[in-house]
Every structure is written in structure tokens, then in C-alpha cells.
Chain A
Amino acid sequence: MSSIRKPYARTAAAVRSGVVASLIQTLLTLDSDLNKSLPAGQYALKLKAPESVESVISFNGGTRGAVLNFMSCEAMTDTLSGGKGAFIPYPSGGGFTKALKAFQSCAAAVSTAMSHVPEKEDKPGIEKKTRLLLTAALRGVCEVYNHDHWVKMKAAAIPAGTIAVRIAGTPDIAGTIRVKDKTMSYTPGADLSAANAVLEFADIDTCYRVLTGQVAAMAELGSGKVMLRGRLPMIQGLFPLLDRFGELM
């Protein structure tokens, strides 16, 4: 039994598009070759589906360019999973063609990066993959919370505030989840002094193995390689969201 129930189409689409958008933004900070290959200028692409599912990918700080308007949430999920789904591209300002080209290149690069399994000795490869996986997990958790009513009910007790997620000794691999007005958002980076709670992995290897499912987070929690500090109900509320994210992805 991998899933207790079929996901809402809206949830699956929101998670998939949010994760793809965040992964592209992260990859752009890691891959200078990819950056150089993109059309010059500032522009953006919006992934849009019915039921208010939207994710924006900004290139060089741009805010307008193209919209991929999917006919249904199912079409969005299928397309962003590598299948075929109906969508209509239309311009939302200058840079329409650039935005489409850039998205095509970046989506392919994300797909390649996520399917790549680094060798055990490939430390830079593991580090890069860990960054991407952490981005996907944190953004995915936020989208599950915001769009899955069932899980949101379970996670209703998560108090407002911020959770910093980081790897000890590697402060630049980090993310922050913010809960405000019953909405959860993700931003890269973490400010420990301002966080209400901290979820910390002892090292990159632990984070990588947890995020790839090689070890159970709970076991690593017990061994102290995954640490929780601060306002624990905030972090405990993340676990059902992470479970659901795993089921959806």
C-alpha cells in the first residue's frame, strides 16, 4: 500500500509544478553552463492550471514573458512528469520566445540532474544532488500543505513561524519554510537566529541518504544524525507532509 488515497488532481499539479519551478531556479545557481546557454535578458515563465495552480520561473530576475496554460491539472502533471498533456502557450509580455526556449532547456536539464545517481565517491555530485533533493522536498512540502486539504487538516496544528532546514557544517545548503496565515512558503537559505525551529542533518551524506529513501528519517533522528530543535510541533507537523510528498512524487 503506497498510498492511502488517490491524490487530488490539483494537489498533484501544484506539487509537480512548484517542485519543477524551484528545481530550475536552484539548478540555475549551480550550473553556469546552463545559464550561459539561455537567451540573454530578463523574462519569466508561468506554469498555470485551473483551480489556481500557478508557479513562476524567473530568468535573470524577469517577471513576464510566457504562460503555459494547461487545460487541466491532470494535463499539467502529465506534461511535467515527462508525458503528454494539452496546454496553450501565450505571451505575457516581452520575451515570450526566450522564456519558452529557456524553460525547454532547463526542464531537460532538471530531468537529467534528477535522474543522475552519483557514485559514492563523487562528492561534488552528491552535494549537487542533495541541494536539488532538499529544494524539491521543501518546496513540495509547502505545496502539499497549501493544496491538500486532507493533509492540511492533519497538519493544522503547525503554528505560525519559520523552520530552518540545514546541514551542519554546510550552511549554504539550507532552506526555510515559513508558515503564515495558514499558508506555507519556501525560500532558499536559512537564518538560524530567526528560526522558531531547526531541522538539521549531521552531514551531506545523511541528508542525501534520507532524501533518497536509503535510510528512514526516524532512524536517523534516533541516532542523532537528524536533529530537531526549538518549537518541535512545527517540525513534527512536517512529517505527514513529507510522507504525502513522497507518495505524490
Chain B
Amino acid sequence: MSADNRYSESQSVFERAVQVIPGGIYGSKSPGFTVPGQFPYFFTEAEGCRVKDADGHTYIDYLCGFGSMVLGFGNPVVDNPAIEQLRKGDLLNCPSPVFVDLAERLCGLIEGMGWTVFAKNGTDATSLAVTASRVHTGKRRVLMAGGAYHGAANWCSTNKFPVLDEQDYVHTFPYGDEEALKELFETYRDEIACIILTPYHHPTYLDQKIPEKSWYPLVESLCDREGALFIMDDIRANFRLSINGSHSYFGAKPHMVTMGKSLANGYPIAALMGTPELKKAAGNLFITGTFWTSSVPMVAAMHCLAEMERLDVQSHMFEVGKMLKDGLRDAAAAEGYKVNLTGPDSIPFMTFPDDPDMYHNQMFSAAMAKRGVYLHPHHNWFVSYAHKKEDIQETIEKAAESFKEMRTR
């Protein structure tokens, strides 16, 4: 592989970026997380399911702003009222009444939840949830699955330095491993504040894993016995499995649910919700952020929720996601490649089981980017309501070309 002039503007901007920004672009948006030299690093605009990069190339997009764009980019049903609110005022001294409208709306919509607090990013919500569980239970230990992503805070991130001791009371287990989970509950009996789980396992670089039917009943019974809280971190899967929360899709009964990303179709808002009996614990926390009550994302969320309900977006995303999975599997097989397509149909990901080092993922994603399809090589993909069957068909045709190109290299 070598550098591609196709992305010269992205590369030029990136060269400026490294002069003034540590790493140039940090975190999950870093070029080092894609296929450096053969992927765009900067985007300028988007509409529907298509994004345009800094070099002017357009892509059918399957990252959807890391899952945030559930209705598609530039959806007027969401954007027009949001822009109207922006003109009236976004960040006011105190919340706008829409603050309460949205909390009421979510409490009526998300199964089992009785209160809501708002923040900006998923990390805010998951960190608040863990803090609330510690305050409520008077215990300190937190259990999470190894490889699960719950945000960029030090208690759960890859910042592993001795001076950052937030992870001293965080313990991991292999997702879905019932015996390992029972053992942790036994080892730390009477010390566990909470377990935090994503609705299903979506680790970076690996196949996604749907929980067994026995998983959530076990989690709930262990939490009941321990007096620990069960937090469902629904930030990433949010509204792509069910309009009532991903926990309802799996029949789980968490004490708290975090959400964000697709809640407002790309506007910056996250939420922590909880069962009615936990409202007091949450009320004891000092919760604030300068921008956490801004009105525009809340207006956007109100209209996004209404539109998602009206259109039954989940059914559509399952349908086009399944079409994508089937098409990719067939296109791969035609060139002699075996692929794993894992995760819910609305949040698919593809790996090559014969290549755990992901060389093939990187070659495939680079080949697709060259053809105008943005499929991340290492992070799970997303479809949105804006992906229509024609977009999926075009993607499958380009995938067939890409697999063929891989075969000839």
C-alpha cells in the first residue's frame, strides 16, 4: 500500500494539524485508526447518507457520525426547528421549557425509566451513571466487559498510568462469560456498586456479539443478590434496535440507561435515565455543565424522536442492513473470501475469519473508499433511515469490484 494523491487535501490539512494539535487528530478519528494514506481525514459536508471529503470526493457513508445520524445528514424535519431555536437562543441562563418537554417525552418512551438528566457526550452520561450507582449503594467497585467502550473518562479509558487511579476499582470480564461474571460477584461480594454493559458487545477490531437469552436474567439476579445496580450503556446502539431503548429489544431491565448519539440526529446531547426509585440518588449529585442545558439539541431531539416514531426507522434500518450483510457475504463468496458479518442488521460489521490481523479489512476498506464508499476497517458500521435500497445495491456492486481487486493483488 502507498500514499494516494486522491487524498492530498486531507493530507495537507493534516500536516497543518500536527503542528498545533497533539496527534493531529486524536482518538477514534485519528488517521492511524483508518488506513493511513488511503482514507480521507477531513470532511466538509454531507446530505442524506452521503458525505463529502476535503478533496471533494463523495462517499456512501456507513459511519453516520459514529452512529449519531439516524435519520441521515441534513434532515429538514430536525434541522429546521433546531435552526429556528438557534435564532431565538441556544444557551440561555436557565433551561428553556423544552428541557422539561424532552425529559417527559423520554420518560414516556424509554421502557422502565422515570427520570432524565442531560449532558453532552456519552462519557458524561456513563460517568454520571457510575457515580450515581456508587452514591446510591455506598459501594465502590464497578464491573464492565473487557474491550467494551464506555467513553473516554479515566475510569474506563485506555489512559492507563499509575497516577490515574480511577481504574483501581474497575474490574473486567469477558462479555457473555457467565461463569466469569459469577466469580467476580463472588470475589467482590458486598463491594460492587454496579455493572455497566452495552446492550450487545461491539468491541473495536473484533466480531460483534449478541447476548445469549440467559445473559440478562443472570446479570439481573446477580445484581439483585448483591444490591448492585445494572447500567445499560445504550450510547452506540441507541434507537437502532428499538424506539423504547435497546434494553427493551433484549428484554433486559436495567436500573439506569445512558443514551446520546442518535438521540438528536447529530446535535450534541446525551442523557442519563433511571428507574423512579433512583431519582433521589441522582438528585444528591451535583450535576452541571455550561452547555448541558442548551436548547437547540433538545429541540432537535424532540423532532428526531417524533420522526423516528412516525417512520418506524428501526424496521427500515433492519431491512437495508440485512440487504447489505447478505450482499457483502455473496460478493465475498464470489471471490472466494469467507467473511463474518456480525451484530444487529442495523449496526453491522465485517471481518475475515482467516485474517485476525485485519490486513484484509484494511485492503477492503481502502478499496471501497477509492470507489466512494466509507466503510470503517476497524469500527462497527451503522446504517440510517437515509440509506435506501439503491444505496445498498450500489455498495454491494462496489464491494464486488473491491473483492475482485483484492483477489488480484
Contact = CB atoms under 8 A, between A and B. Distances in A.
Interface of A: 150, 153-154, 156-157, 161, 168, 196-197, 202, 216, 218-219, 221-233, 236
A236 B32 contact: yes
A154 B36 CA distance: 23
Nearest to A196: B357
Contacts of A223: 3, 11, 14-15, 37
Nearest to A225: B3
Interface in B1-59: 1-4, 7, 10-11, 14-15, 17-18, 23-24, 31-33, 36-38, 41
B15 A222 contact: yes
A81 B169 CA distance: 43
9 A-B pairs with least C-beta separation: A224-B37, A224-B3, A222-B14, A230-B357, A219-B18, A231-B357, A223-B11, A196-B357, A222-B31
A232 B205 CA distance: 9
B352 to A, nearest CB: 12
A224 B4 contact: yes
A218 B23 CA distance: 6
Nearest to B355: A230
B2 A227 contact: yes
Interface in B166-195: none
Nearest to A226: B36
A218 B20 CA distance: 12
The B interface, classified by DSSP as helix, strand, loop or mixed, is loop
Interface string B237-256: 00000000000000000000
B160 A224 contact: no
Contacts of B214: none
B24 A219 contact: yes
8 contacts: A161-B357, A202-B2, A218-B18, A221-B31, A223-B15, A224-B38, A228-B36, A230-B362
A221 B34 CA distance: 11
A216 B357 CA distance: 26
B160 A154 contact: yes
Nearest to A5: B163
A30 B194 CA distance: 60
Contacts of A157: 158, 160
B2 A232 contact: no
Interface in B333-358: 356-358
Contacts of B162: 150, 153
Centre residue among A150, A196, A218, A230 by max chain B CB count within 10 A: A218
A161 B342 CA distance: 25
A156 B160 CA distance: 9
B286 interface: no
B378 interface: yes
A230 B362 CA distance: 8
A221 to B, nearest CB: 5
Given A196-B357, A229-B362, A230-B357, A224 B2 contact: yes
A201 B238 CA distance: 41
Interface in B199-235: 205
Nearest to A155: B160
Given A219-B18, A232-B378, A150 B161 contact: yes
Contacts of A161: 357
A222 B11 contact: yes
B18 A232 contact: no
A229 B1 contact: yes
A202 B24 CA distance: 20
B359 A222 contact: no
Contact of A197 (B4, B23, B36, B357): B357
Contacts of A221: 31-32, 36
